[in-house]
Amino acid sequence: MPTITLIPGDGTGPELTSAARRVIEAAGAAVTWEVVEAGEKALERYGTPLPEEVLASIRRNRVALKGPLTTPVGTGFRSVNVALRQALGLYANLRPARTLPGIPSRYQDVDLVVVRENTEDLYAGIEHMVGEDAAESIKIITRRASERIVRFAFEYALAHGRHKVTAVHKANIMKCTDGLFLACARKVAEEYPAIAFEDRIVDNMCLQLVQKPELYDVLVMPNLYGDIISDLCAGLVGGLGVAPGANLGEEVAVFEPVHGSAPKYAGQNKVNPLATILSGVMMLEHIGETAAAARIRRAVERVLRAGKQVTYDLGGQAGTQEMADAIIAAL
């Protein structure tokens, strides 16, 4: 039976991962859990937000389900999420955004997949003050990482019956960095004649996604644009409460919701567990527990269609655990 590393996370993370864990167990998935602490609790207890034991556990088990981790804004320690992705070589961030039944949204039939490069770009963390009144951040784009992420997007498209890959960039302005990304994308695209390829400048991409998301399929882009566009795509299908994600590398995979730790709601049994539950479903599909994954997807759809036992963001009054209970009852 596979062992999954479980990182409860900060803020609302513990209540969300506990809800997801209950649903996964109730679906009959054959998994055991190894719980390890990262983030604020680990900082208090071990003096570091990312103890070596966390990385060792994920490397050993190769699969993790993770709650969101809080990162201080502007000051304080570096993002643990970014450090974890870099330390484990989780180069691809996969964020599907698909319309689910019964969810209030301005858009119908959205079915997009954001593939975000996860290891470099402005997230390389090379920034510093230049004197007292200026600051500088260095954007790193490499041929290796760019070709690897675009190839990932095409392989994903092939494996999942997708028809088109769109590369997103700002190569008109950042001719060197984004220019390299775009050149790599065009070169890799030639290896996949069965899949259509096009590119969009990121500002135009935002406009297009808001006006006609149905024209797009798989989107691949550098780290920062991926962070922003995936929140935009979450907004097209009902918000952050329903958007799951996966961080994938050659060896290991870490599944987590797109949203953050929503600390203002921590401990209130209020926020939507679906993004974490659906991240768990992606995890089950990854490890081959496809029957349990399909059962959860069907149960989620039943609960959403009924529209009663859902959290505030979906127009309901259920708490986090009550929504998870409803999904368990529908399994």
Is 271 among the residues that bind ligand NAD (CB under 6 A)? Answer: yes
Of these, 64, 69, 92, 237, which contacts ligand NAD (CB under 6 A)? 69
Output the smallest distance, CB 80 to ligand NAD, in A: 8
If the CB atoms of residues 184 and 326 are measured against ligand NAD, the closer one turns out to be 326
Calpha distance 253→182 (Å, rounded)? 26
Is 262 among the residues that bind ligand NAD (CB under 6 A)? Answer: yes
Is 296 among the residues that bind ligand NAD (CB under 6 A)? Answer: no
Of these, 17, 86, 166, 272, which contacts ligand NAD (CB under 6 A)? 272
Residue 227 appears among annotated catalytic residues: yes
Q: Report the residue closest to ligand NAD, judged by CB.
A: 260
Binding mask 221-240 for ligand NAD (x = CB under 6 A): -------------------x
If the CB atoms of residues 120 and 256 are measured against ligand NAD, the closer one turns out to be 256
Of these, 62, 170, 200, 259, which contacts ligand NAD (CB under 6 A)? 259
Residue 170 appears among annotated catalytic residues: yes
Interacting residues toward ligand NAD by CB under 6 A? 68-71, 81, 240-241, 256, 259-264, 271-272, 275, 313
Active-site residue numbers?
123, 170, 203, 227
